[in-house]
A and B are shown apart, each in its own frame.
Chain A
Amino acid sequence: EAQVTQNPRYLITVTGKKLTVTCSQNMNHEYMSWYRQDPGLGLRQIYYSMNVEVTDKGDVPEGYKVSRKEKRNFPLILESPSPNQTSLYFCATSGISYNEQFFGPGTRLTVL
């Protein structure tokens, strides 16, 4: 079954404590992307990756890092989380960057 998985699904943490949200896909897609969703703002792209070892900034990259060492995985790293990073995060994949995207179930992050 084609899947995009994210872990953890829910996380409550404190300011400054480094965390990683994992994303994994089994569709052999080259394109992967991270979004955050905040009320009234829709989805905003954080980072994206066109292929292994190729990553680029989206619209709101400040405070985030990513890596793409393998095709299937695209972790999102918050080195020093702050309360304004409290949000719902989605990983998405696509065979081509501007075609249909497949979304993970989301990670709800709260930074206290």
Chain B
Amino acid sequence: SQQGEEDPQALSIQEGENATMNCSYKTSINNLQWYRQNSGRGLVHLILIRSNEREKHSGRLRVTLDTSKKSSSLLITASRAADTASYFCATAFSNDYKLSFGAGTTVTVRA
């Protein structure tokens, strides 16, 4: 499997703080995506960044991609209790038209 790996596995922050999680992968990608999963529910797509892009924003989310280091980061600014969830990166590799998901980062936002 060519799945990406997230880091850290778990993160606990205070409401209002920023949360940063990282994803590393091993081979060339077409794009990299981030998804959110609330406890036991279906995954929800957050953002897609293509291999020729370096940074993307969506509301309080900021995603960066460094293809030279084969890594991406997801930053959630001014976190809220509702951001408590698991976050997954998914990589679409250049030689394989499937998505491979990592094991996820569990984020807990404390009130």
Contacts and interface: CB of A to CB of B under 8 A. Distances in A.
The answer on A and B forming one complex is yes
Interface of A: 4, 33, 35, 40-45, 48, 50, 58-59, 88, 90, 92, 97-106, 108
Contacts of A104: 42
A42 B104 contact: yes
A100 B48 contact: yes
Given A42-B101, A42-B103, A45-B98, A100 B45 contact: yes
Given A42-B103, A101-B33, 20 more contacts: A4-B42, A33-B98, A41-B103, A42-B101, A42-B102, A43-B101, A45-B98, A45-B99, A50-B97, A59-B1, A59-B100, A90-B43, A98-B30, A98-B92, A98-B97, A99-B48, A100-B48, A102-B45, A103-B43, A108-B40
The A interface, classified by DSSP as helix, strand, loop or mixed, is strand
A98 B103 contact: no
Contacts of A103: 42-44
Interface residues of B, number: 23
B61 to A, nearest CB: 14
Contacts of B97: 50, 97-98
B40 A106 contact: yes
Interface of B: 1, 3, 30-31, 33, 40-45, 48, 88, 90, 92, 97-104
Contact of B98 (A58, A88, A105, A106): A58
17 contacts: A42-B88, A42-B103, A42-B104, A45-B100, A50-B97, A92-B43, A97-B97, A98-B30, A98-B92, A98-B99, A99-B31, A100-B33, A101-B33, A101-B43, A102-B45, A105-B42, A108-B40
